[in-house]
Amino acid sequence: MCSGNRDKNIYRPIETEVLDVVTESPAIKTVKLRPREELTFQTGQFIELTVPGVGEAPFTPSSSPAVKDTMDVTIMKVGKVTEKVHELKKGDIVGLRGPYGVGYPLDEYKDKEVLVFGGGVGLAPLRSLMFALLDRIDDFKKLYFRYGAKTPGDIIYKDLVREWSQRKDLDFRITVDKADEEWTGHVGLVTTILDDMDVDLETAIAVVCGPPIMMKFGTFKLLELGFKEHNIYLSMEKNMSCGLGKCGHCRIGTYYACKDGPVFSYDKIKDFHDIWQ
């Protein structure tokens, strides 16, 4: 891996040690990393992770931004790089560069009701957001968490989700599309657990992250309920190959997801073609 002054080479990754690898579900693992140079981030920003000799790909950290010396990245196995990431083990060396993009504007959420709404592996960036929100929960009027998975076996961060479910200061509901013999909770699409919230629809914030189809119909459901377009924040994780607005692979209309996002309010991008793909 390259060495030298990182400020002179914006593409140089920081050598980073793999501290642990946790299997979250059959297709999803969390990798705990320790960069050998300082690399901090704001919740919602992303990094580029390099597997030497294989390639790099963008991921949003799933750990708390308040933790400065390590970083968790939760990754679904969907391609060449992610397949190699799933083969990593403790002590391996990878590369990180970043952070890039614009994160969640938490100060704009102050004194408002905040809904964190996700599905599947979309809980990875939302985990980081939840850590940040819970760290300053007194700043918000009320915090809601709504999450859906295909099956109970597909729920990631099971211990953490169980911990959140027991908090008195968090309005918590989860659902699965298809239950197993042990599941006693709600069954149905994630949009079916949005109807019970008594929020001020003029000011309430909704943050949405998940598979594109979930984000599309979840956003439409929020609009149907009366949430305002400018108060719905979407994490648009496109093909952010370079992370620097140079390659153009992550264009959303007049925006680059890597520079102007990946967090956008819905009103800014709603008129662009194919935002849900």
Residue 8's pLDDT is what? 64
How do residues 172-190 score in pLDDT, each as one tens digit? Answer: 999 999 999 999 999 999 9
- Say whether pLDDT at 116 is over 80: yes
Q: How far apart are CA 123 and CA 255, in angstroms?
A: 24
Mean pLDDT over residues 33-57, rounded?
Answer: 93
Instruction: Evaluate whether 219 touches 208 at the Cβ level (below 8 Å).
Output: yes
In this prediction, residue 25 carries a pLDDT of 85
Q: What confidence tens digit (pLDDT) does each residue in 55-105 have?
A: 999 999 999 999 999 999 999 888 888 999 999 999 999 999 989 999 999
State percent of the chain over pLDDT 70.
97
Residue 189: what pLDDT? 94
Contact 186, 192 (CB under 8 A): yes
Q: Give me the sheet containing 93-100, strands edge to edge.
A: 55-59, 46-51, 93-100, 14-25, 28-35, 71-76
- Reply yes or no on whether the pLDDT at 3 is more than 70: no
Question: Across residues 246-272, what is the average pLDDT?
Answer: 83
Give strand ranges (E) for 159-214: 171-176, 186-187, 205-209
pLDDT at res. 2? 43
Provide the CA 228 distance to its chain's centre, in angstroms. Answer: 22
Tell me: the pLDDT tens digits for 204-214? 999 999 888 99
Mean pLDDT score, 216-241: 90
pTM, two decimals, is: 0.90
How much is the mean pLDDT over the chain? 90
Q: Which two tokens stand for residue 203?
A: 């000011």
pLDDT digits (tens, 9 = 90+) for 242-257: 777 777 777 788 888 7
CA–CA separation, 45 and 50 (whole Å): 17
255 within 8 A of 261, measured Cβ to Cβ: yes
Q: Give the model's pLDDT for residue 7.
A: 57
Q: Which two tokens stand for residue 101?
A: 């993009």
Give the pLDDT band (50/70/90) at residue 147. Answer: very high
